[in-house]
Homo-oligomer: A and B are copies of this chain.
Amino acid sequence: MVETKKGVRDANATKARILDAAKGEFARLGLGGARVDEIAEKAKANKRMIYHYFGNKEELFKVVLEEAYLDIRGAELSLELEHLAPDEALKTLVRFTWNYYLENPAFIRLVNSENLHQARHIAESDRLVDASRKFTDLVGGILKRGEKDGVFRKGIDPVQLNITIAAIGYYYLTNRFTGAILFEREFMSKEALQERLEFNLDTVMRLVVA
């Protein structure tokens, strides 16, 4: 939570508080379910400020989404996977992805909401496309190195692999509520989470191994 003392006028701080509150509300209730009044209240800002700084609800949602994506893409790059052996790099990525989803529950909920709306809010964001391209290239590089070292089989599509790495973590976490009921199983205990991570690491390594 962004906290700044009130009374003092500070445009940047107010913007940050609004973004923070909006992220929480959009994640919790989706674009349609979130309420502008509620966001303003949570941000300790006047609703008028939201319209002043962001134009309207959807534009605000755009900024929230873009920031969320840039954050994870930045974190992925800062793992410096190119300095690790291919198999370690891949394992690190699987672990990181899993932990990022766990520690940033807002992220997957925002992505879900954006997909419900057919991704029209990020449709023209060159910044996101650039960041994602770098990420795909990164994974492609790991696969190439592994292939050359003889530890990975060849011909693996980095995009398909990326999707799968995201999927096996993301799905478990977003659908944990229905999952817990239907499979009559605890999804969020320390042991359950650890077990799933191990299973996912295993899945990915079996998929790439030569």
The chain A residues found within 8 Å of chain B, CB to CB, are: 29-30, 32-33, 69, 109, 111-119, 122-123, 125, 128-129, 132-133, 136, 157, 159-160, 162-164, 166-168, 170-172, 174-185, 195-196, 199-200, 202-203, 206-207
Contacts and interface: CB of A to CB of B under 8 A. Distances in A.
As for how many copies of this chain the complex holds, the number is 2
Given A115-B178, A160-B195, A163-B168, 19 more contacts: A33-B33, A69-B182, A109-B116, A115-B176, A119-B178, A119-B180, A122-B181, A123-B181, A125-B181, A129-B182, A159-B183, A163-B172, A163-B183, A166-B175, A167-B167, A167-B168, A167-B171, A202-B207, A207-B207
Contact of A129 (B115, B133, B184): B184
A119 B177 contact: yes
A176 B122 CA distance: 13
A98 to B, nearest CB: 12
Contacts of A182: 69, 122, 128-129, 132
Contacts of A157: 195, 199
Nearest to A128: B182
Contacts of A117: 177
